[in-house]
Structure 1
Amino acid sequence: MKFKIKTNSSNRFVLLTLCLMALYSGFAQSSLIQNIDNRTTVSLDGTWQIIIDPLENGYYNHRYQPKDNGFFMNEKMQTPSDLIEYNFDEGYELQVPGDWNTQMEKLYYYEGTVWYKRSFDYDKKDGKRVFVHFGAVNYDAKVYLNGKKLGDHIGGYTSFNFEVTDLLKAKDNFLVLKVDNTRKREAIPTVNTDWWNYGGITRSVTLVETELNFIRDYFIQLKKGSKANVEGWIQLDRPLETNVSIEIPELNISKNYRTDANGRALVSFNGAFDLWSPQNPKLYKLELVFAGNSLEDQIGFRTVETRGHKILLNGSPLFLKGISVHEEAPFSAGRVTTMEECEVLVSWAKEMGCNFIRLAHYPHSEQMVKAAEAAGLLVWSEIPVYWTVPFDNPETYANAENQLTDMISRDKNRTNIILWSVANETPISDARIAFLSNLSKKVKSLDNTRLTTAALDTQSSADGYNMIDDPLGEHIDVIGINQYCGWYFDKLSNCAKGKWKTSYDKPVIISEFGGGALQGYHGSEDERWTEEYQDALYKYNLQMLDNIEFMAGMTPWILKDFLSPRRNLKRIQNDFNRKGLISEEGIRKKAFYRMQDYYKGKN
């Protein structure tokens, strides 16, 4: 008997996407291990040896076929006649974590392949497993240990790990990565962006030591709509029916649960929680116990929902006094690499009077999210579906959904995240609506306790009004609007007169507005690039925004000047996007103090 499955173009797209999702999960990539900071770890950060390989000679032969003995073998000459045309130990060095662009002048604009190698010893212990965990590698990472390929990872801003238990030696291990940050049309993000494509191992590399079976993942948050009932789950790494428990000592909560045959236990319990808020960023010590081993975390509890045009935190309306932030080092340029740098950026936002930050345009480090959580800053977290990605490409969708899943998987227990964003400034089309609405559905399937959003462009004007009518508004909970009156269109003085309407009974966040200024450059408010022009732009835009009755918050663009290769105006830009309210040296511009005064008067 023969069966035929009828397919149309829509479900063919879905079937292909499912296949590609399997590809993007990595060949041997293990499921992401949650909360490595509170596990037994060994850092592999520090000095790594590198080889710059623009023609990828270390991977392909002259017929452009993958080599069996590429640079990942870390071969050494054994006799004087050996022909080995590379040597990691006699070449360049870079610090990990870090980007290569700002560490080495010759790599400032470089996009391509760099090989990284780190040698180390390891004291193996009986009855233990070991994983190598990467905070982020931009963009295409191929990972090898002792000449054996562990797997691949695509995406420059999300964490991943591989098991290495059976490959480790007591002496002379070598971990090698082929890192390629070449921009591609079908990638996420695509070729056209307005931030620096920092290449390299940009976040920490860690060996994580576990028991043979262990709590790999968990989700512990208040049930949607409840201030007292927690619902979630605990997942063991290996299938096993057994007992696990949750303890919150401060509240005298101790609950036991039974995992199913897949090693998963559903969790539900009540508590009299002191709810987390910007005014009271309360975190509880939580212990997850399995087979006598305890895994600790700091967990907060809060509710978030919408009611008409309002965003409610713990049942009360809250105006989001925010700022957009790139993951750029506070007193220079380059990727943020330390908790101390994250804390500086957070302190600047707090100094301005913020209770909210938009982490644009990609998932920032786990350190940044935790620093914001401890400081009482709510978070908008975003994947880099940015501008004109090919929305009809199943491979692109699979990549985007995988990065979305990785982002949520890592940060789902961070109580300060209230918005998962699926896109920024994407042009309207049927393919785009299908792409982004499916991403929004994916968010809800993974985490229904938070809200979905996207940063949209203003789409039309009617009767003198800016009209918010993008059809994606039907598929998200909160609408973000990017608008640049006084910078990309219209005169400064006209901005205060701007009027707005919306087609949706939903909250609106003005997710971007602003303009550029070179810190220390002064003149009249009519002279572009001066601090006075930027300050006047903020003055008139804030007058306009104050008249939007359905506005629930704002995140002006942007906290700090940041590198962007689109910004070529010498003397003024010098590769920097100058829309920051703080310069790359950490000096506040006039508009910073205007926003500070504005937020002081905003409840």
Structure 2
Amino acid sequence: MNLSKTASVCFLSALLGQGLMAQTNWQVQPATIKTRWAKEVSPTNALPEYPRPQMVRENWQNLNGLWNYTITPKDAATPSGYQGQILVPYPLESALSGVKKPLQPSENLWYKRTFTKPVLKDGEHLLLHFGAVDWQATVYVNGKETGSHSGGYQAFSQDITNALKDGENEIVVKVFDPTSEGIGPHGKQVLNPANIYYTPTSGIWQTVWLETVPADYIAGLDITPDIDKGILNVKINAPAGTNVELIASDAGTEVSKIKGKAGTPLKLPVKNAKLWSPANPFLYDLTVKLTKGGKTVDQVKSYFGMRKIAIQKDEKGVDRIFLNNHAYFNLGTLDQGFWPDGLYTAPTDNALKFDIEAIKAMGFNTIRKHIKIEPARWYYHADKLGILVWQDFVNPNQGLPEGAKAEYEKETKETLEQLHNHPAITTWVIFNEKWGAFDQQRITEWVKATDPSRIVNGHSGEMLYVNEQLRSPSPNAWVSADMTDVHSYPDPMNAPAEPGKARVLGEFGGIGVFIPDHQWNSSSAWGYIQEKAAGLATKYTIMNQHLKLLEAEGLSGSIYTQPFDVEGEQNGLLTYDREVIKIPFEQMRKIHSQLNPDLGTIPEVTAKNADLTDPGEVYSKMLQDYINGRRDPDFLFKMAMMAQQAGDKNGANMAGGAYITTLQAPYTPEQLALILQFTSSTKDKGFGVLQEQLQSQNAKLEKRPVTVKLMNIVFRDVIDPALQKSGDTPDWNAIANSVKPYGEPGEEIFLRAKTVYTFNKQDWTNYASVANTYLEKYGQNIPEQERNMFQQAINNSKNQ
């Protein structure tokens, strides 16, 4: 589909919308690393592209750009003033938003901007569209509530016509996002990220836009190809009493057309269809006209691909994944869609497209889009470039609090409707590794019945093997699904054979390789196994040779973890900033060619090849420079990072501590994160800096991890030595006095230490009082199981 004309119109419209809000006080906030596209972002060009390529109208206005924002307590009234400006649609927590602040479950985030009412004629309506807002959004236009929506990943629209006034109009959006503490699906976002969890995204994170539509208009399309019958099944959502005309074309030449009533199923002939595949991702253009009384009252441009996905038997009777009636090995990788500068939001459309291009250039033909729903333009690029997509649903809150199941099903239903028309999506993935899983059979059968045009991976990694040890046994695994799926780290293995199901390896690999100067979190190089850059290609080649052997045994697809590093995980084939490729593209394509021989057109992408020098060798030279007296801050910082990667803990603490002494307030968030990492004693300069963070109203670090760090240090430096010295008769009054200089972390760790000590000693006389105080003040900070254990002991102690 050719969107060049539309794109130019959209860009002009975007500029007009931005001009009303143009300001000069926005700037990208500091980040450890950024992508090459971050420098292209500004308030006048924040994602200006048309946001919905499968249903294009030209009469629209982009509302991305600078909005006013403020954060208030959750129960506070509509604010009268705002704290500053935020660049929409980049998340509040991201560097590109210009804010980079966390949103707490006890808070609301507010947005405000103005726009000029367009001229509306002949009963036209004005629709306000949101690509996605995480998690719950309530919208007000000129002070009137126009609607609300829950769901952090689904697009929603509101007809705001009746709330408009002539001239300048005001939009206010209230956002509540409790992330992992709420009932909504949140993916891998958590409030205190660690290892497999990442920085949250709150608020508006996809394009906001206005669209003028006629009195009777096309509200939606539902298109499903059937290559066996040579037809495209189409249903148009439009008012009763209207008619539709569908015209399919190939490069401007009409292929077929059909007329019918809106809302009724139509069959558009597509004879001798050019089939869509990763090797040849052919798309037909589709024009949809809405007519009433013989006149065209609305028209949208769309596209479609003719392709079929199914489980069928090969010539040996083995159940495999078939694409267009041919066995097709799904050679994939696990793409999580995170960005160091934009978090959930790619800096630019070219950046969004780059990820798919890079994965194709590596020689993959499949992407498993992992626990995230992307903007519509990502799926458009997947359709255009040609890549199979296994689309994960975003799992429910794993604790399944009351309301979580219903919210999950509501959001999943919206996702199925929203993404249905994309030919690239061939597979729905329901629950990842049983996270929040419930009603397995019913949910799987519901998804299959809702969309029989795709195959369903009912429960990816329902059986999880790590180093050949089964971590997650499951009775009745993969019930009603189209495939059996295991996760196996690090080395590949086959899933069990079951009649009528393809066998797939839903995740494997996870080889951690750190690349200096391209790390989000320099304290972590997490992977299921660690490998030096020089050894990665050999290890990866051997893994793929085993995949080929498993294919001969019946394996039908595999998903490697992962294409890009993500925050503390450095097991990507490209670094998080998309700058360094750890195995050259050409070499990867050669490795993959045994399982994906027909690559089609290879996208042109650029990245530096990794330096294969042994990191230990680099660090050894730095250590000698340190011995010789070098102490400049940049050198100390890099030395601390390299020492960690080389496994020299003492050297890392030495260099990190020396680096901290060179720093002066005000500290950047990145400097504070490093201070948190390398502070290990109450005597360290960093300890005082972290204490100040806890007392600051504008702290640049999450306070709970800081508190826990200081608690551990106080215990190690002050409390534990006193306990060791006192034997069986600790002087708790003296210990209480000794921790007073350390404020609340000192008090919390003192109460915890005394509670645990008296519990373990079964000293019920002293236990009840201190445990009650501890639970009253700090019980919300400890796991529920432990809290219940302490409370039960209190109850029992009364009977002693």
Normalised TM-score (structure 1): 0.77
Separation (CA, whole Å) in 1 of partners of 2:475 and 2:464: 6
Equivalent residue number for residue 552 of structure 1? 556
Q: Distance in 2 between matches of 1:468 and 1:534?
A: 31
Measured in 2, the distance between the counterparts of 1:147 and 1:337 equals 32
Structure 1 residue 476 corresponds to structure 2 residue 481: yes
* Selected match of 2:108 from 113, 127, 145: 113
Q: Secondary structure in 1 aligned to 2:549?
A: coil
Structure-2 change in CA distance of 1:282 and 1:36 (3 Å): closer
Q: Deviations over 1:214-254 (max 9, x none)?
A: 1111212223x725122231111x3x223211111434312
Q: 2:88 aligns with which of 87, 96, 103?
A: 96
Q: Which amino acid aligns with 1:296?
A: K
In 2, the alpha carbon distance for the partners of 1:443 and 1:464 equals 31
Matches within 5 A, 1:185-584: 186-189=183-186, 194-223=197-226, 226-236=228-238, 238=239, 240-249=240-249, 250-259=253-262, 264-272=263-271, 273-291=273-291, 292=296, 293-308=298-313, 309-329=319-339, 335-385=345-395, 388-390=398-400, 395-426=403-434, 432-434=437-439, 436-453=440-457, 454-458=459-463, 471-485=476-490, 495=491, 501-503=496-498, 505-513=500-508, 514-520=510-516, 528=530, 530-532=532-534, 534-535=536-537, 537-548=539-550, 549-563=553-567, 576-584=568-576
Cα RMSD after superposing both structures: 3.2
Give the counterpart of 2:169 among 154, 173, 176.
173
| Match for residue 48 of structure 1 among 56, 63, 67 | 67
Between the two proteins, the alignment pairs up a number of residues equal to 507
Structure 2 CA distance for partners of 1:397 and 1:232, relative to 1, 3 Å? farther
**Which deviates the most, 503-512 or 94-103?**
503-512
Cα pair distance change 1:105/1:232, threshold 3 Å? closer
| Cα deviations by residue, 1:560-601 (Å, 9 ceiling, x for unpaired) | 1123xxxxxxxxxxxx22121111222334356564332123
Amino acid at match of 1:318: Y
Structure with the higher strand share, 1 or 2: 1
Partner of 1:122: 117
Pairwise CA distance, 1:397: 2.1
Residues 1:87 and 2:103 are matched in the alignment: no
Q: 1:289 to 1:470 in 2, by over 3 A?
A: farther
- Residues 502 and 194 of structure 1: CA distance in aligned 2, closer, same or farther (over 3 Å): farther
Residue 595 to residue 343, structure 1, CA distance change in 2 (3 Å): same
Q: Give the distance between the partners of 1:286 and 1:297, measured in 2 at CA.
A: 5
Inter-partner Cα distance in structure 2 for 1:478 and 1:526: 25
Q: Hey, what's the Cα distance between the residues in 2 that align with 1:87 and 1:590? A: 49
Q: Is the 8 A contact 1:467 1:501 kept in 2?
A: no
**Aligned equivalents of 2:219, 2:541: Cα separation in 1:** 50
Q: Output the CA distance in 1 between the equivalents of 2:501 and 2:471.
A: 16
CA contact (8 A) 1:124 1:169 kept: no
CA distance in 2, matches of 1:134, 1:252: 34
Question: Is the CA contact (8 Å cut-off) linking 2:218 and 2:299 kept in structure 1?
Answer: no
Aligned with 1:579: secondary structure?
coil
Distance 1:600 1:346, change over 3 A: same
Relative contact order (alpha carbons < 8 A, sep ≥ 6): 1 or 2 greater?
1
Partner Cα separation in structure 1 for residue 469 and residue 570 of structure 2: 31
CA separation of 1:268 and 1:334: change in aligned 2, threshold 3 A: closer
Is the 8 Å Cα contact of residues 513 and 530 (structure 2) preserved in structure 1? yes
**Larger displacement relative to structure 2 (186-195 or 472-481):** 186-195
**In structure 1, the residue corresponding to 2:306 is in which secondary structure?**
coil
**Which residue matches 1:11?**
none
Match of 2:139 among 131, 140, 143: 143
Other structure's SS at 2:236 match: strand
Alpha-carbon distance in 1 for matches of 2:167, 2:477: 55
Per the alignment, in what secondary structure is the counterpart of residue 380 of structure 1?
A: strand
Shift of 1:511: 2.4
- Are the equivalent residues in 2 in contact too, given 1:222–1:303 (CA < 8 A)? yes
Gap change, CA 1:460 and 1:107, over 3 Å in 2: closer
CA contact (8 A) 1:516 1:577 kept: yes
SS at match of 2:478: helix
Q: How far apart in 1 are the matches of 2:339 and 2:565?
A: 10
Q: Give the C-alpha shift of residue 96 in structure 1.
A: 0.9
C-alpha distance in 2 between matches for 1:389 and 1:508: 30
The equivalent of 1:78 in structure 2 is: none
CA gap of 1:432–1:322, structure 2 versus 1, over 3 A, is closer
For 1:420, give the aligned amino acid: W
Pick closer, same or farther for the CA change 1:474–1:275 going to 2, 3 Å. same
Checking the alignment, whether the CA contact within 8 Å between 2:482 and 2:500 is kept in structure 1 is no
Question: Over residues 492-526 of structure 1, what are the superposed CA-to-partner deviations in whole Å (9 max), with x where a residue is unaligned?
Answer: xxx47x66534454223322221322124999x99
2:699 maps to what in 1?
none
Q: Which amino acid aligns with 1:478?
A: M
Indicate conservation of the 8 Å contact 1:517/1:531, yes or no: yes
One-letter identity of the residue aligned with 1:201: I
Separation in structure 1 between the aligned mates of residue 98 and residue 119 of structure 2, nearest angstrom: 39
Q: What secondary structure, in the 3-state scheme, does the structure 2 residue paired with 1:512 have?
A: strand
Code of the aligned partner of 2:450: L
Displacement of 1:340 in angstroms is 1.2
After superposition, the Cα gap between the structure-2 partners of 1:333 and 1:580, relative to the gap in structure 1 and judged at 3 Å, is farther
Looking at structure 2, the residues matched to 447 and 153 of structure 1 have their Cα atoms a distance apart, in angstroms, of 24
2:27 corresponds to which residue?
A: none
- CA distance 1:546–1:595, change in 2 (3 Å): same
Distance 1:36 1:93, change over 3 A: farther
Evaluate the alpha carbon distance shift between residue 152 and residue 534 of structure 1 in structure 2; reply closer, same or farther with a 3 A threshold.
farther
Checking the alignment, whether the CA contact within 8 Å between 2:69 and 2:109 is kept in structure 1 is: yes
**TM superposition shift of 1:472:** 4.1
Higher CA-based Rg: 2
Report which of the two has the higher share of helix. 2
Unaligned runs of 5+ in 2: 1-51, 191-195, 314-318, 519-524, 598-800
SS in 2 for 1:206: strand
Instruction: Report SS of the residue matched to 1:252.
Output: strand
Give the Cα separation in 1 of the matches to 2:101 and 2:221: 40
1:502 and 1:592, CA in 2 relative to 1: closer, same or farther beyond 3 A?
A: farther
Task: Check the 8 A contact 2:486/2:494 in 1, yes or no.
Answer: no
Give the direction of change, closer, same or farther, for the CA distance of 1:499–1:253 in structure 2 (3 Å limit).
closer
Distance 1:252 1:526 in 2: 51
State the one-letter code of the partner of 2:556.
Answer: A
**Separation in 2 of the partners of 1:533 and 1:363?**
34
The letter of the residue matching 1:226 is: D
Cα separation, partners in 2 of 1:500 and 1:167, compared to 1, 3 Å: closer
Structure-2 change in CA distance of 1:185 and 1:472 (3 Å) = farther
**Using a 3 Å threshold, how does the CA distance of structure 1 residues 504 and 530 change in structure 2: closer, same or farther?**
farther
